[in-house]
Amino acid sequence: MFYVYCLESEKYDELYFGYTNDLKRRFKEHNQKLNFSTKRYAPWKIIYYEACLNESDAKRREKYLKTTQGGRMIKIRLKEYFYEKRKI
């Protein structure tokens, strides 16, 4: 299985999209600041993920989610989550 995931920084208003074949290991790496592009926004929490059987499908989905349209789709899909977060 390959996983496409969305992380949210717990300290900053920042989202990160990625894909991996080992979600637990990859999430741990992000929070241990082993990834150059995410280390300054750590700690992270997983707010969304999808599973794919094919790596190329996961790569394509990740690429889409990193676009403006894909970012909007995630915010619509997680509308209640972001709404509740704003109320706090």
pLDDT for 2-54, tens place per residue?
999 999 999 999 999 999 999 999 999 999 999 999 999 999 999 999 999 99
DSSP 28-42: HHHHTT-STTTGGG-
- Residue 23: which domain range? 2-87
- How many domains does the chain fold into? 1
pLDDT for res 77: 95
pLDDT for res 87: 72
pLDDT at 82 over 70: yes
Task: List alpha helices for the chain, DSSP H.
Answer: 23-31, 55-65, 68-77, 79-87
* Domain containing residue 11: CATH number: 3.40.1440
**Residue 17 near residue 30, CB atoms below 8 Å:** no
Rounded to two decimals, the pTM is 0.92
pLDDT for res 86: 77
